[in-house]
A and B are shown apart, each in its own frame.
Chain A
Amino acid sequence: EVQLVESGEGLVQPGGSLRLSCAASGFTFSSSCMHWVRQTPGKGLVWISRINNDGSSTTYADSVKGRFTISRDNAKNTLYLQMNSLRAEDTAMYYCATARGSNTHFDYWGRGTLVTVSS
């Protein structure tokens, strides 16, 4: 059974940093492209980043480019999102999701981890 478990939830002040993790199991993590997607009540689902299967290629939404870094450790079956210079508008539920290829649908989603940016 495919499982994606996000962690790293927290309350952080504007300008602060947080690192999210996504532990994967039940599939060949090292063969899968991975994504981070966030969701707020007001703005719905927003894709924010993608990393290819070996970590050699990353892509970001303009809203997080230069502030967020996606990475992965295939030996640990874990995906990461390092978030710096956080803003109030980054407050959201963050989901990791798998995809079979770079431009394919998102097969499985984790249950999400909540990030709140507030003073």
Chain B
Amino acid sequence: DIVMTQSPDSLAVSLGERATINCKSSQSVLYSSNNKNYLAWYQQKPGQPPRLLIYWASTRESGVPDRFSGSGSGTDFTLTISSLQAEDVAVYYCQHYYNTPFTFGPGTKVDIK
């Protein structure tokens, strides 16, 4: 099974400042035949289900603000919130969908400093 790790476990950022979350997979999730990274990012607010933010490691889902961006390839990935807003307080999860089981990272909690 591919193991997903995230860092940090939590972070507190001032409004308007940048937040950076890292995700690492235990093996590459880059599929060579199509050069796509099988990696997604989700946001989960309290009492709500996860919401898709980013897929194929860097493609922003429709309706997601452009302050959210994803980068990385192979085994190392990053979710960046360029200018943190109050409504971004949530837990963020990375997930691979390279093969089953589709595992998730443990989550990173983002708060306002």
Q: Does B106 contact A (CB under 8 A)?
A: yes
Residue of B nearest to A111 (CB): B49
Query: Which residue of A45, A61, A103, A104 is within 8 Å of B50 (Cβ)?
Result: A45
CB within 8 Å of A: which of B39-62?
Answer: 40, 42, 48-52, 55-56, 61
Q: How far is the CA of A35 from the CA of B101 in the complex (A)?
A: 11
Q: Assess the B49–A104 pair: CB atoms within 8 A.
A: no
Query: Which residue of B49, B97, B101, B107 is within 8 Å of A105 (Cβ)?
Result: B97
Known contacts A109-B49, A109-B51; is-contact A103 B38 (Cβ 8 Å): yes
Q: Assess the B49–A107 pair: CB atoms within 8 A.
A: no
Known contacts A105-B52, A109-B49, A112-B49; is-contact A44 B93 (Cβ 8 Å): yes
Residue of A nearest to B48 (CB): A111
Q: Assess the A45–B55 pair: CB atoms within 8 A.
A: no
Query: Which residue of B61, B99, B100, B104 is within 8 Å of A45 (Cβ)?
Result: B104
Q: Assess the A45–B52 pair: CB atoms within 8 A.
A: no
Q: Assess the B49–A95 pair: CB atoms within 8 A.
A: yes
Q: Assess the A105–B40 pair: CB atoms within 8 A.
A: yes
Q: Does A59 contact B (CB under 8 A)?
A: yes
Residue of A nearest to B104 (CB): A45
Query: Closest approach, in angstroms, between the C-beta of B17 and any C-beta of chain A?
Result: 26
Q: Does A11 contact B (CB under 8 A)?
A: no
Residue of B nearest to A103 (CB): B97
Which A residues lie within 8 Å of B20 (CB)?
Answer: none
Q: Assess the B97–A45 pair: CB atoms within 8 A.
A: no
CB within 8 Å of A: which of B87-113?
Answer: 93, 95, 97-107
Which B residues lie within 8 Å of A110 (CB)?
Answer: 49
Q: Assess the B52–A47 pair: CB atoms within 8 A.
A: no
Q: Assess the B97–A104 pair: CB atoms within 8 A.
A: yes
Query: Closest approach, in angstroms, between the C-beta of B97 and any C-beta of chain A?
Result: 5
Contact with B along A85-119 (1 / 0, CB 8 A): 00000000001000100011111111110000000
* Chain B interface residues toward A at CB < 8 A: 38, 40, 42, 48-52, 55-56, 61, 93, 95, 97-107
Q: List 23 A-B contacts (CB under 8 A).
A: A35-B102, A44-B106, A45-B50, A45-B95, A45-B107, A46-B104, A47-B101, A47-B102, A47-B104, A59-B100, A61-B101, A103-B98, A103-B99, A105-B40, A105-B52, A105-B55, A105-B95, A105-B97, A106-B40, A106-B50, A106-B95, A109-B49, A112-B49
